[in-house]
Amino acid sequence: MASFLSASEENWFAEQADIWFDTFKGNIVVHKEPIKTIKITNSNQLFGYGQAGQTNSEQIEYTPRSQSFDAVIKYGSNQDLDIVGDIKAYVTSQNLVSIIVKPNAKEYINKDKTEKIVFDSKSYNTISNGALKSFFSAIYYEYILQEIT
């Protein structure tokens, strides 16, 4: 079946979507669950330790993980909603924001546990999965976020 648009027109629309993204993008920081590292030391090796029956000591360290991405941030209205757009997120609260990100940010957000997303000096939780927003060859994903109060 023939396409309504030529390949050059489709490329033009994809380029316009990329220009739109670059024009309105802001910076977000995605914070992941920290990596937990447990160090066990044998106190019998140290002179003067271990006489009271304590043979091993445990030290827990948390290594924070975060990465910065570009995103278009769309602040919504503070009204109650049943279903938000294509994402099918059922929400009945206020302070909703949507972000539109590129595929590399989507992969990072969906991998492991995302603790929070920070921008404009506020923290947010994701309340939806990334919904595909395709403009021919320009691929983006939209998330609905709720402010952490």
What does pTM read for this prediction? 0.75
* Best CA proximity match to 70, nearest among 30, 123, 26: 26
pLDDT band (50, 70, 90) for residue 113: very high
**Mean pLDDT throughout 45-68?**
72
Place of tokens 């998330």: 143
Collapsing DSSP to helix, strand or coil, 34 comes out as strand
Structure tokens at 49: 């330790």
Structure tokens at 105: 């940010």
pLDDT in tens, 122-149: 999 999 888 999 888 899 999 999 998 8
